[in-house]
Amino acid sequence: MPEGRPPEQITPQSLNDYLEIMSKSVFQSGMSWKVVDAKWPSTKEAFHNFDIETVANFHEKNLDDLTNDKRVIRHYRKLSAVVSNAKKIIELDKEYGSFQKYLRSHGDFDATIKAIRKDFKYMGPSGIYIFLYVIGEDVIPHEEYENLYKK
């Protein structure tokens, strides 16, 4: 999380918004927020503004091209995770009637974290916490999160 201040929250308008915020969490895993933020405009461009249908249809050639694109973080497993996660968001959106209904179907915060970790790639507790916070879903207080998940 950017030092000293929480990230800005949004109200997702489409599945593209969920994919973008989730992808930012994927790229920020183990990296400096400043590096990810600096590359974010070109990352959005490389991923067609996170148009979920386009990203879900990326093939190996698209991923190979991205691993050679200096404008983005060229981490193959993270790039691949974005494509996989796009497909999963679409699948869960259809299965539950909306992606938001999927997010709210788990009962409590801990169950939601477990479900997202199972269903999505490169999403650990910190990334999930920030993802849920940014998209306006209920999260436990940050101090409680730190005590439970930052062991």
- CB 25: neighbour CB atoms within 10 A? 25
Q: Tell me, which fold does domain 15-149 have in CATH?
A: Endonuclease III; domain 1 (1.10.340)
- Nearest one of 94, 143, 117 to 29, comparing CA atoms: 117
d(CA 108, CA 88): 21
Residues 6 or more apart whose CB falls under 8 angstroms from that of 148 comprise 110, 140
Query: If 0-12 CB within 10 Å is exposed, 13-18 middle and 19+ buried, where does residue 123 land?
Result: buried
Q: Kindly compute the dihedral angle of the four CA atoms of residues 82, 85, 87, 92, in this order, to the nearest 10 degrees.
A: -160
Tell me how many degrees the CA angle 139-140-143 measures, rounded to the nearest 5: 130
d(CA 100, CA 95): 11
Spell out the domain ranges in the chain: 15-149
29 contacts 78 by C-beta, under 8 angstroms: yes
pLDDT at 1: 47
Would you give per-residue pLDDT tens digits along the chain (151 residues)? 445 677 899 999 999 999 999 999 999 999 988 999 999 999 999 999 999 999 999 999 999 999 999 999 999 999 999 999 999 999 999 999 999 999 999 999 999 999 999 999 999 999 999 999 999 999 999 999 999 887 6
